[in-house]
Chains A and B, each alone.
Chain A
Amino acid sequence: MHIIKVRNLKKFYNTSEIQTIALNKLSFEVLEGEFVTIMGPSGCGKSTLLNILGLLDDCDNGSYLFNGIEVTNSKELERAEIRKHNIGFVFQNFNLITQLTVFENVELPLIYLGTKKTERKKKVEAVLEKMQIMHRAYHYPQQLSGGQQQRVAVARAVVNKPKLILADEPTGNLDSKNGNEVMELLTALNDQGTTIIMVTHSEHDAKFSHRIIRMSDGQKIIENNLV
């Protein structure tokens, strides 16, 4: 079954005089359980696409079915609802909240889901164990190395067992050793059934995925199946 199905997706950015086309009639699908990499030069629309897929941004035209449901015209409340139940985000710059500890950062999606405190504790501890960062649970993000921070970010993304993880250059700020560790984490999650869509510049990282969609000027130019 397709978890994502986009048709003729269009997105413009308007500045005072110029209209820039970020996505130009883009169409593709992602199956449940797939690991897809999106690649392309800077400004080709990768991140825009990821944001639209994550329901953080709207498209101007086209159709987007998430899990079989049309979401292009859905309201903010519905989007937030879909996001918190189904989608996890991993960012290049980790985006951990500095005022919260590792534990509290990971706990946050569960709070928004309304999970009870005891259950939250169990789930957070389990995922931190899994990410091998439990020993840092009560530290603040700024006390952690980049690799550790990204592990926390991944933990936060998966703690509510989302169907889909969107990763925007997850290794971009990491050295190769830490980068590999993160990629292995993502692969492991994918092996357990989580769909992953990753944006990256790194051919090395892309090799961890099943399929690469290459983009240029807001359009898909080629698709490579790696499996």
Chain B
Amino acid sequence: MVQNYFKIAWRNLLEQKGYSLLNIGGLATGMAIVILIGLWMYDELSYDMYFKNYDHIAQVMHHNNSNGQKNTVQDTPPVLAEAIRNSYGSDFKYVLQASFTEDFLLEFDNKKIRATGKYFEPEVTEMLSLQMIKGTRKGLMNPYSILLSESTAVMYFGNTDPIGKTMRFDNRWNIEVTGVYKDLPKNTSFSDLKVILPWQLFYQNHGWIQTTDNLWGGYFTLTYAQIADGANMGMVSERIKKVIYDNVNEGAKNSKPEVFLHPMKNWHLRSEFENGINTGGRIQYISLFGVIGFFILLLACINFMNLSTAQSEKRAMEVGVRKALGSIRKQLIEQFLTESIVIAMLALVVSLVIAQLCLPFFNEIADKELRILWLNPLFWGLLIVFAVLTGVLAGFYPAFFLSAFKTVEVLKGTLSIGSNAFVPRKILVVVQFTISIILIIGTLIVYSQIRFGKDRSVGYSRDGLITINATSEIQKHFESIRNELKSSGTIVEITQSSSPTTDVWLMSRGLDWRGKDPNLVVALPINGVTYEYGKTVNWELIQGRDFSRDFATDSTNAAIINETAAKFMGLTNPIGEVIRWGGQQKQYTIIGVIKDMIVESPFEPIRPVVFKIDKSANVVILKLAINQNIRSTLTQVEQIFRKYNPNYPFEYRFVDQDYALKFGSEERVGKLASGFSGMAIIISCLGLFGLASFVAQRRTKEIGIRKVLGASVPRLWGLLSKEFVSLVILSCLIAIPLAWYFMNDWLQNYTYRTTISFWIFASTILGVFLITVASTSYQAIKAARANPIKSLRTE
């Protein structure tokens, strides 16, 4: 019996090639998208699972209270790991101190390149169960050693064995390569760990740490842990809660630091905290894309349903005969489901080809390294289940519809598929277009929000601004560099800063001012800059004056604050007010107030910032003379930097590019959403095209009669298109409030958000209307132009 079903299915496919092509093509497109989304979701959900100790690894983080709210931060004092080991050792297998990820300058055999990595305590190799290709996991015991990832080892050493070779690190230290480990996959939180340096070297390389009295006061490292086998993450987390509080000085206790373990399984997908509570993160995108994937598949299935039921008149006779010969309805349902499963299987093959072809683009947009798991039996198993389910989803309605035909009517030839039979099909078209329109409107609003963020005034000028990492040599020769650059005419100005203009690298606690609530614990971004900062970034002073060499006190006792800081401090006349820092030791008089500068997210409120003169900078910011050829300007700038900073490569970043990165996540969502909505509309139009051809066929006789009675081609075209246009207009009416509701909800995630413009809806309606007319017109005009005599005769 089943063989018979397959036979019929196959012959039907061959007999109606155009219809099969539309059906398989539409279904395959939908399935390809689901495969891509599925691979993406698998990649996201399996993030960090590469690590053997995945369930036992956590990052030691803490909540603290400042500026009137509970903040959650990963920064920890450099002595936290040791303190936890000492007091709670039995709860842990490892507690390890690590640095933030840095770009390390490494040199071997005149090859001087930067590689990203961290300083880490030696047991990191065990905690992350690194697969050593060369050397052993004990490599970091030697304080002047380095572990390289395989790709990094190849970059420096080619095919020669790097073990025992000496590299020059940061132009200061000779370190020995003691191990090479397999690169960590891209879907891990340590994928950028290309080199690992011993923790002891961190202390060596940052001499100031050794002279710092209170290491519990500085939050500039990270702490990772692996709990003991059999230990409970929640319970251990609860036990170590007070470890920072117990060790910090009285002043710092005000912020009520509360340590907790953030399990590895939550790092990637649930990384956001609000008021000390984990509120999710990327996991929301997983559900969002899951839903989009489902809807796109649904669109493709609806196409299938519509096309299958539309050609029902052709299949009716077969149903009647089979019933007369003794077939029961169940058998017919089985037969039609088999057909749709066969089509879904064929579509699966095509969809794999489409997915493979689209994968490079998809990976680029999604910033992933996804690949189709051709050799994974589980993947194939899932694909087959997926195809069968798709077949059933797409086939159940046609199966029930077709199998319900009354034998007598069919065989008598009196079967009339009344207007009621078209209602479900119309509903399906409306559902299809509603989904497509929601996706289109959603995409437009995402882009409108990105544009809104981009258009928001940043409070400074990014034109020609570049950032260079500061080195001790640059700091030492800063004035000479500045003079040479200025006299060369290549730059407008140059400054040093503790943070780039696109980020906050330094926060300070314990600030005080007149009128401050004594119970309020504050932690504000502090930016140590040189005198020319304002001129370089072209900030906008709204009160007072800029830093100036003419005032001797500016170098030690002056501060410039932003508008938000003035508001936050409750200062109506901020000029002349004094900010105290570290008790009464340091006092800064406010000499100016600047317009807010967007340093962090363009969608979030700006934080209060205090600027002061400080020459121990982390970055150098230059404003290039942009009226000149940028390439030759940079060459000249490079020459001057090479002269004073010969041991480091000349590496710069355009502030514009750094700023653009702030929109990365939104742009990724926007690009994916536009891809998906494009596909959705293509699938829907394929369906509409197919349906239009069936409607034209069904109405051939009517068209013939109308033509004989004098109807013109445009009039007939209007008649045939009207039906679809009205369905699409109905879809718009349903989709618009839904899209508005969902997108308005999405926009609430942003403090600074665009308003949803009327034009987004208007242009979507117009666009969809034109697409509808275009996809139905070919069939309509073809039918309208046909010779009526022919169509009447065939009847």
Shortest CB–CB separation between residue B495 and chain A, in angstroms? 80
Shortest CB–CB separation between residue A97 and chain B, in angstroms? 5
Which residues of A6-46 have CB atoms within 8 Å of chain B's CB atoms?
none
Which residues of B702-722 have CB atoms within 8 Å of chain A's CB atoms?
none
Closest to A99 in B: B11
A113 to B660 Cα, complex, angstroms: 71
Residues of A within 8 A of B329 (CB): 76
Shortest CB–CB separation between residue B558 and chain A, in angstroms? 90
- With contact pairs A56-B323, A111-B1 given, residues A91 and B411 touching in the complex (Cβ less than 8 Å): yes
Q: Assess whether B322 is in contact with A108, with CB atoms less than 8 Å apart.
A: yes
At the interface, yes or no: A89 with Cβ under 8 Å from chain B? yes
Q: List 12 A-B contacts (CB under 8 A).
A: A51-B408, A80-B323, A80-B328, A83-B324, A91-B411, A93-B413, A97-B317, A98-B15, A99-B318, A111-B4, A112-B331, A113-B326
At the interface, yes or no: A57 with Cβ under 8 Å from chain B? yes
Which residues of A130-160 have CB atoms within 8 Å of chain B's CB atoms?
156
At the interface, yes or no: B113 with Cβ under 8 Å from chain A? no
In the complex, which of the residues B1, B15, B324, B413 has the most CB atoms of chain A within 10 Å of its own CB atom?
A: B324
Residues of A within 8 A of B331 (CB): 112
At the interface, yes or no: B407 with Cβ under 8 Å from chain A? yes
Residues of B within 8 A of A97 (CB): 8, 317-318, 321-322
Which residues of B410-426 have CB atoms within 8 Å of chain A's CB atoms?
411-413
Q: Assess whether A99 is in contact with B8, with CB atoms less than 8 Å apart.
A: yes
A168 to B331 Cα, complex, angstroms: 26
At the interface, yes or no: A205 with Cβ under 8 Å from chain B? no
A98 to B7 Cα, complex, angstroms: 12
Q: Assess whether B7 is in contact with A100, with CB atoms less than 8 Å apart.
A: yes
A56 to B405 Cα, complex, angstroms: 12
B interface, size bucket:
20 to 34
Closest to A156 in B: B325
A93 to B327 Cα, complex, angstroms: 20
Q: Assess whether A84 is in contact with B326, with CB atoms less than 8 Å apart.
A: yes
A156 to B321 Cα, complex, angstroms: 11
Q: Which of B8, B12, B408, B413 contacts A56 (CB 8 A)?
A: B408
A56 to B411 Cα, complex, angstroms: 10
Residues of A within 8 A of B408 (CB): 51, 56-57
The proximity string for B residues 293-335 relative to A, scoring 1 for CB distances below 8 Å and 0 otherwise, is 0000000000000000000000001101111111111010000
Q: Assess whether B320 is in contact with A95, with CB atoms less than 8 Å apart.
A: yes
Residues of A within 8 A of B407 (CB): 51, 56-57
The proximity string for B residues 3-24 relative to A, scoring 1 for CB distances below 8 Å and 0 otherwise, is 0100110011001000000000
9 closest A-B pairs by CB: A84-B326, A99-B11, A112-B326, A80-B328, A56-B407, A57-B408, A51-B408, A109-B325, A95-B321
Closest to A91 in B: B411
Q: Assess whether A112 is in contact with B327, with CB atoms less than 8 Å apart.
A: yes
Residues of A within 8 A of B12 (CB): 99
A81 to B12 Cα, complex, angstroms: 28
At the interface, yes or no: A170 with Cβ under 8 Å from chain B? no
Q: Assess whether B321 is in contact with A76, with CB atoms less than 8 Å apart.
A: no
Q: Assess whether A83 is in contact with B411, with CB atoms less than 8 Å apart.
A: no
Residues of B within 8 A of A57 (CB): 407-408
Shortest CB–CB separation between residue A198 and chain B, in angstroms? 16
Q: Assess whether A80 is in contact with B327, with CB atoms less than 8 Å apart.
A: yes
Shortest CB–CB separation between residue A38 and chain B, in angstroms? 15
Residues of B within 8 A of A98 (CB): 15
A85 to B325 Cα, complex, angstroms: 9
Q: Assess whether B327 is in contact with A56, with CB atoms less than 8 Å apart.
A: no
A111 to B6 Cα, complex, angstroms: 14
At the interface, yes or no: A218 with Cβ under 8 Å from chain B? no
A56 to B220 Cα, complex, angstroms: 85
- With contact pairs A77-B328, A111-B1 given, residues A95 and B317 touching in the complex (Cβ less than 8 Å): yes
In the complex, which of the residues A81, A83, A93, A156 has the most CB atoms of chain B within 10 Å of its own CB atom?
A: A83
Shortest CB–CB separation between residue B749 and chain A, in angstroms? 55
A108 to B4 Cα, complex, angstroms: 9
Shortest CB–CB separation between residue A214 and chain B, in angstroms? 21
In the complex, which of the residues B318, B320, B321, B323 has the most CB atoms of chain A within 10 Å of its own CB atom?
A: B321
A108 to B5 Cα, complex, angstroms: 11
A84 to B413 Cα, complex, angstroms: 22
Which residues of B462-482 have CB atoms within 8 Å of chain A's CB atoms?
none
At the interface, yes or no: A200 with Cβ under 8 Å from chain B? no
Closest to A95 in B: B321
A56 to B327 Cα, complex, angstroms: 12
Residues of B within 8 A of A209 (CB): none
Q: Assess whether A109 is in contact with B321, with CB atoms less than 8 Å apart.
A: no
A168 to B324 Cα, complex, angstroms: 13
Residues of A within 8 A of B1 (CB): 111
Closest to A93 in B: B413
A187 to B688 Cα, complex, angstroms: 53
- With contact pairs A83-B324, A84-B325 given, residues A100 and B8 touching in the complex (Cβ less than 8 Å): yes
The proximity string for A residues 95-121 relative to B, scoring 1 for CB distances below 8 Å and 0 otherwise, is 111111000100011011100000000
At the interface, yes or no: A47 with Cβ under 8 Å from chain B? yes
- With contact pairs A76-B329, A99-B15 given, residues A104 and B324 touching in the complex (Cβ less than 8 Å): no
Shortest CB–CB separation between residue A15 and chain B, in angstroms? 12
Which residues of A40-70 have CB atoms within 8 Å of chain B's CB atoms?
47, 51, 54, 56-57
Residues of A within 8 A of B328 (CB): 76-77, 80
Which residues of B395-411 have CB atoms within 8 Å of chain A's CB atoms?
407-408, 411
Residues of B within 8 A of A104 (CB): 4, 7
Closest to A89 in B: B324
Residues of A within 8 A of B317 (CB): 95, 97
Shortest CB–CB separation between residue B313 and chain A, in angstroms? 14
Known: A84-B326, A99-B15. 11 other contacts (CB 8 A): A56-B323, A89-B324, A95-B324, A96-B321, A97-B318, A99-B12, A111-B4, A112-B325, A112-B326, A113-B326, A156-B325
A85 to B12 Cα, complex, angstroms: 29
Q: Assess whether B326 is in contact with A83, with CB atoms less than 8 Å apart.
A: yes
- With contact pairs A76-B329, A80-B323 given, residues A95 and B8 touching in the complex (Cβ less than 8 Å): no
Shortest CB–CB separation between residue A49 and chain B, in angstroms? 12
A56 to B406 Cα, complex, angstroms: 8
Closest to B320 in A: A95
Residues of B within 8 A of A99 (CB): 7-8, 11-12, 15, 318
Residues of B within 8 A of A96 (CB): 321
Shortest CB–CB separation between residue B483 and chain A, in angstroms? 89
Closest to A58 in B: B408
A108 to B328 Cα, complex, angstroms: 13
Residues of A within 8 A of B411 (CB): 51, 56, 91, 95, 168
A89 to B325 Cα, complex, angstroms: 8
A157 to B322 Cα, complex, angstroms: 12
Residues of B within 8 A of A109 (CB): 325-326
Q: Assess whether B324 is in contact with A108, with CB atoms less than 8 Å apart.
A: no
Shortest CB–CB separation between residue A82 and chain B, in angstroms? 9
Closest to A105 in B: B321
Shortest CB–CB separation between residue B15 and chain A, in angstroms? 6
In the complex, which of the residues B4, B15, B317, B408 has the most CB atoms of chain A within 10 Å of its own CB atom?
A: B408
A99 to B12 Cα, complex, angstroms: 7
A168 to B417 Cα, complex, angstroms: 24
A83 to B407 Cα, complex, angstroms: 13
Closest to B9 in A: A99
Which residues of B638-691 have CB atoms within 8 Å of chain A's CB atoms?
none
A108 to B320 Cα, complex, angstroms: 13
Closest to B330 in A: A77
A84 to B326 Cα, complex, angstroms: 4
- With contact pairs A95-B411, A99-B11 given, residues A54 and B324 touching in the complex (Cβ less than 8 Å): yes
In the complex, which of the residues B11, B317, B320, B411 has the most CB atoms of chain A within 10 Å of its own CB atom?
A: B411
A12 to B180 Cα, complex, angstroms: 89
Residues of A within 8 A of B320 (CB): 95
A111 to B324 Cα, complex, angstroms: 13
Residues of B within 8 A of A91 (CB): 411
Q: Which of A47, A89, A111, A112 contacts B412 (CB 8 A)?
A: A47
A8 to B431 Cα, complex, angstroms: 50
In the complex, which of the residues A47, A56, A83 has the most CB atoms of chain B within 10 Å of its own CB atom?
A: A56
Shortest CB–CB separation between residue B321 and chain A, in angstroms? 5
